[in-house]
């Protein structure tokens, strides 16, 4: 055992945003760490200088924090194994690369990109099963190497892969996996710019940081033999590997930008709750073995295990995410929703609508069962924020009859007599008017709804009237009669 305490890491490269697949990887690491009273480390794999993106690390950290995946050690949270940015650990990688060279397990390579390119083409022409480096520089004499080094020729350090060896390792999810070393290239360990490649850096860091379990995406499975070779070359104990299935597009290709949103930030901006996103993504490739689908993160921590992670990739299905979002939203208290709604209103066209908290709370209660997103409290019931400007054509045709105007006028007159009416008062009046007019209540309710909201659907009629308030209701009935009359003509 590397360490009696579980230590896991999420090791993204800073591409500019957090991919939802990365979110799931981070989540599983987080859940595993919390479940086992271990530590969750964030390590930034920024060893590719060509792909440097300004502000990427900050975005990544912000997205992780938004999702609630707090790490114990990371670039901005110091720990005993820092620094946690690989670009700040260059000397360390060089030291270990030298150690490998001195043991003959790695070697300098001075080949030019042109020679490499030519080699590749040659191998392709010969229809070799696989393009591989030909170990040309492995056979340089010590003197030649010395000279090249002194002349400052561009160089890399390569792993010296012994041919004809079976490389095997165990994976919690895939069980036993085997590779033939003849299929493993002499991977570059240190690039000509002095930066390490992923393969060297991740092995060195995982060892130095005492990582016990490497939980990462399946795209890494094929390079794991290189990592295993490195652990063995250094004489280090291997961590437990767990390669997660990929997240897929609806057409089952790897989840990509081209087919929809992939950034956690996109979902956050669209109004998804972090609880829903976490819940959803947790279930993409894992389940507790029961029928439960609705989870808060604490329950996920309690139930999570790597053994129950699936092998096959999972399609990211927005419909189910939407359902979970609605479920989580409904479970929130009215006050919690109020705070979110007020922020949403601040960013909407109704910024200056000035509805009181009391009124907003009433809207929340009336609409809670009818929304998927917080912003639906505005956009699926705009009539609470402004008088309707037009009226659903279909509803007019269906519910606006010859005598409707008269009925509504009558209703309006009765409403006018009320002082400070309650929901019940409205209902009582309407029932009474319906009786006197000798019509069903529906005959009044449907056109009334249309008149005050412009729509044919919405919360209970009397809730609607009560929230709008007597004056507004009367005003809207009057305008509706006028406008709809004109529309029918």
Partner RNA sequence: GGCGCGUUCGUCUAGUGGCUUAGGACGCCGCCCUCUCAAGGCGGAGAUCACGGGUUCGAAUCCCGUACGCGCUACCA
Q: Which is nearer to RNA, 193 or 357 (CB)?
A: 193
Query: What is the C-alpha separation between 112 and 26, in angstroms, rounded?
Result: 38
Query: Is 191 near RNA (CB under 7 A)?
Result: yes
Query: Which of 94, 136, 320, 332 lies at the binding interface for RNA (CB under 7 A)?
Result: 320
Tokens of residue 226, six digits: 């290189």
Q: Which is nearer to RNA, 287 or 428 (CB)?
A: 287
Strand partners for 442? none
Among 23-31, 240-248, 384-392, 403-411, which window interacts with RNA (CB under 7 A)? 240-248
Query: Which of 223, 259, 365, 479 lies at the binding interface for RNA (CB under 7 A)?
Result: 223
Contact (Cβ atoms closer than 8 angstroms) between residue 315 and residue 252: yes
Min CB(328)–RNA separation in Å: 12
Query: Which of 80, 113, 142, 163 lies at the binding interface for RNA (CB under 7 A)?
Result: 113
Query: Which of 35, 135, 136, 254 lies at the binding interface for RNA (CB under 7 A)?
Result: 254
Q: Which is nearer to RNA, 80 or 113 (CB)?
A: 113
Contact (Cβ atoms closer than 8 angstroms) between residue 441 and residue 352: no
Query: Which of 53, 62, 92, 116 lies at the binding interface for RNA (CB under 7 A)?
Result: 116
Classify the phi-psi angles of 299: left when phi > 0, otherwise alpha if psi is within -120 to 50, otherwise beta.
alpha
Query: Which of 299, 445, 479, 483 lies at the binding interface for RNA (CB under 7 A)?
Result: 445
* Closest alpha carbon to 16 in 52, 45, 50: 52
Strand partners for 309? 286
Task: Give the footprint of RNA on residues 34-73 (CB under 7 A).
Answer: 45, 47-48, 50-51
Task: Give the footprint of RNA on residues 325-364 (CB under 7 A).
Answer: 326
Query: Which of 246, 374, 378, 450 lies at the binding interface for RNA (CB under 7 A)?
Result: 246
Q: Give the DSSP H or E segment for 98.
A: helix 90-102
Query: What is the C-alpha separation between 436 and 421, in angstroms, rounded?
Result: 20
- State the catalytic residues: 257
Task: Give the footprint of RNA on residues 286-305 (CB under 7 A).
Answer: 286-287, 289, 291, 293
Min CB(427)–RNA separation in Å: 8
Strand extents, DSSP E, 201-276: 213-217, 240-244, 247-248
Q: Which is nearer to RNA, 193 or 471 (CB)?
A: 193
Task: Give the footprint of RNA on residues 386-415 (CB under 7 A).
Answer: none
* Closest alpha carbon to 22 in 355, 189, 254: 254
Query: What is the C-alpha separation between 377 and 294, in angstroms, rounded?
Result: 23
Min CB(346)–RNA separation in Å: 25
Q: Give the DSSP H or E segment for 315.
A: strand 314-315
Tell me the three state secondary structure of residue 312.
coil
Among 24-32, 67-75, 191-199, 404-412, which window interacts with RNA (CB under 7 A)? 191-199
| Alpha-carbon torsion (393, 398, 402, 404), positive or negative | negative
Min CB(457)–RNA separation in Å: 3
Task: Give the footprint of RNA on residues 1-40 (CB under 7 A).
Answer: 11-13
Tokens of residue 485, six digits: 């009359």
* Closest alpha carbon to 345 in 337, 353, 356: 353
Task: Give the footprint of RNA on residues 449-478 (CB under 7 A).
Answer: 449, 456-463
Min CB(145)–RNA separation in Å: 15
Q: Which is nearer to RNA, 441 or 478 (CB)?
A: 441
Q: Which is nearer to RNA, 292 or 482 (CB)?
A: 292
How many positions of this chain bind RNA (CB under 7 A)? 85
- The full DSSP string for 139-171 is G--HHHHHHHHHTT---EEEE-PPSS-EEEEEE
């Amino acid at each position: 055992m590397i360490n009696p305490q579980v230590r896991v890491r999420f090791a993204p490269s800073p591409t500019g945003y957090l991919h939802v697949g990365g979110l799931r990887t981070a989540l599983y690491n987080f859940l595993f760490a919390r479940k086992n009273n271990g530590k969750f480390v964030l390590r930034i794999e920024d060893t590719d200088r060509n792909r440097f993106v300004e502000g990427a690390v900050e975005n990544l950290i912000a997205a992780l924090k938004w999702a609630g995946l707090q790490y114990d050690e990371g670039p901005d949270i110091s720990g005993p194994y820092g620094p946690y940015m690989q670009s700040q650990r260059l000397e360390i990688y060089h030291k270990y690369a030298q150690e490998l060279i001195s043991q003959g397990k790695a070697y300098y390579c001075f080949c030019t990109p042109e020679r490499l390119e030519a080699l590749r083409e040659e191998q392709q022409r010969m229809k070799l099963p696989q393009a591989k480096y030909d170990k040309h520089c492995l056979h340089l004499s010590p003197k030649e190497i010395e000279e090249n080094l002194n002349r400052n020729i561009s160089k890399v350090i390569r792993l010296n892969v012994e041919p004809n060896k079976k490389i095997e390792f165990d994976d919690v999810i895939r069980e036993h996996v085997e590779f033939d070393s003849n299929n493993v290239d002499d991977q570059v360990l240190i690039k000509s710019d002095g930066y390490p490649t992923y393969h060297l850096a991740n092995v060195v860091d995982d060892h130095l940081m005492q990582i016990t379990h490497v939980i990462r995406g399946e795209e890494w499975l094929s390079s794991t033999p290189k990592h295993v070779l490195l652990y063995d070359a250094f004489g280090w104990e291997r961590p437990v590997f767990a390669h997660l299935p990929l997240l897929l597009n609806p057409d089952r290709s790897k989840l990509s930008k081209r087919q929809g949103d992939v950034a956690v930030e996109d979902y956050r901006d669209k109004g998804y709750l972090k609880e829903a996103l976490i819940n959803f993504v947790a279930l993409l490739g894992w389940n507790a073995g029961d029928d439960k689908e609705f989870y808060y993160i604490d329950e996920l921590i309690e139930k999570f295990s790597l053994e129950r992670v699936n092998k096959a990739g999972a399609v990211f299905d927005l419909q189910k995410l939407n359902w979970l979002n609605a479920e989580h939203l409904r479970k929130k208290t009215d006050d919690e929703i109020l705070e979110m709604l007020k922020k949403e209103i601040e960013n909407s066209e109704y910024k200056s609508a000035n509805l009181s908290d009391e009124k907003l709370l009433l809207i929340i209660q009336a609409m809670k069962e009818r929304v998927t997103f917080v912003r639906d409290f505005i956009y699926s019931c705009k009539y609470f924020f402004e008088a309707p400007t037009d009226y659903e054509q279909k509803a007019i045709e269906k519910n606006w009859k010859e005598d409707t105007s008269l009925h509504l006028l009558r209703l309006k007159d009765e409403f006018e007599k009320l002082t400070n009416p309650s929901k019940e008062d409205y209902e009582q009046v309407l029932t009474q008017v319906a009786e006197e007019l000798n019509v069903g209540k529906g005959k009044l309710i449907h056109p009334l709804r249309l008149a005050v909201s412009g729509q044919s659907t919405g919360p209970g009629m009397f809730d609607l009237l009560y929230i709008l308030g007597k004056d507004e209701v009367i005003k809207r009935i009057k305008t509706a009669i006028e406008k709809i009359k004109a529309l029918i003509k």
